[in-house]
Amino acid sequence: MKTCLLGGLGPVPAIGLGMMRFVGCDDPASFVRAALEAGLNFFDHADIYGGGESERTFGKAVAGLPRESYILQSKCGICTGYYDLSKGHILKSADNSLYRLNAEYLDVFLLHRPDALMEPEEIAEAFDELYQKGKVRHFGVSNMNPMQIQMLRKFIKQPLIVNQMQLSLVESRLIDSGLHVNTASENAVMRAGSVLEFCRVEDIIIQVWSPLQYGAIHGVYLDNPDYPALNAEIGRLAEQYGVSNTAIALAWILRHPATPQVITGTVNAKRIPALLEAMTVELTRPEWYGLYRTAGKFLP
């Protein structure tokens, strides 16, 4: 199985399972069991997923399983109408997630979104307390640019091992700006401050959210009539490699030398084989760039 090196946590599957929709899973315990049997033992949560019910559902689904058999990640900071990365909120969110997950510790805990009012000294104090009490083993961020990460690192003692960002064949801004350096193209605008390159330099793994989506929550581009050329090329490569269309779309992300970890959103055990297939496909450069162009992108 393809893996990526997640800081001090060590090698983890290159594909993790996002639990945002887990509260709607038909058979939660069976899904978890099927995932673990397939070697997919990384589960990504957040306190807001299902209003906390996704974590609660997962906690019940893993009852009786050895804690060391799976890796737990959760996130905090998004509230209704505002963000909150204060010390008190971080500590309370971590405790609440642990309670719902029926777990003694989180392997990884992320700050879900930048908080304009965040005070890095407070965040450092919260991380110290969670780490010293054994509640959290590793820390990271989500949707943050390089300077925000640097600001936090000035005060935080623990390494930030993850930055979770959106990336897909259609939503490829992290890659676009690097290809269009020194051009007048709109794609040259570095909206995230070269975060992809920064994280590679600093040994921070990019975790990819919504790998099959267009827009943040609009829908999936696979088999979408709005993307005929892209789906035709994905279908051609899927036939060539003898895998599913989903596998090709995910393999495009996994081909990047940043060795990202893809967080998928499926809670359907029947889709697990496609995730495993994705980790077996190594696209060539012409194939990778061909998919990029048929997604509506252009090279300078």
State both tokens at 189: 């605008």
CA angle 14, 16, 19 (to 5 degrees): 170
In-domain check, residue 130 = yes
In-domain check, residue 300 = no
Q: What is the number of domains present in the chain?
A: 1
Whole-number pLDDT of residue 217? 67
Q: Rounded distance, CA 77 to CA 236, Å?
A: 42
Q: Which residues lie below 8 Å from residue 171, measured CB to CB, with a gap of 6+?
A: 210, 213, 214, 215
CATH number, domain at 202?
Answer: 3.20.20.100
User: Coil, strand, or helix at residue 190?
Assistant: coil
In-domain check, residue 81 = yes
In-domain check, residue 188 = yes
Q: Which residues of the chain have pLDDT under 50?
A: none
* Residue in 218, 213, 264, 278 with CA at minimum distance from that of residue 31: 264
* Residue in 277, 278, 265, 274 with CA at minimum distance from that of residue 25: 265
The helices-and-strands tally (H runs, E runs) of the chain is: 11, 14
CB 117 within 8 A of CB 82: no
CB count in 10 Å sphere of residue 40:
22
In-domain check, residue 2 = no
pLDDT, tens only, 189-234: 988 899 999 999 999 999 999 999 997 667 999 999 999 999 999 9
- Predicted model pTM: 0.97
In-domain check, residue 84 = yes
- Enter the DSSP assignment of 217: T
* Residue in 64, 70, 73 with CA at minimum distance from that of residue 18: 73
Q: Which residues lie below 8 Å from residue 260, measured CB to CB, with a gap of 6+?
A: 4, 14, 167, 205, 206, 207, 208, 253, 254
* Residue numbers of the domain that contains 116: 9-294
Please state the φ and ψ torsions of residue 4, each to the nearest 5 degrees: -130, 155
**Catalytic residue set:** 49
State both tokens at 228: 């005929």
In-domain check, residue 168 = yes
pLDDT, tens only, 149-191: 999 999 999 999 999 999 999 999 999 999 999 999 998 998 8
In-domain check, residue 247 = yes
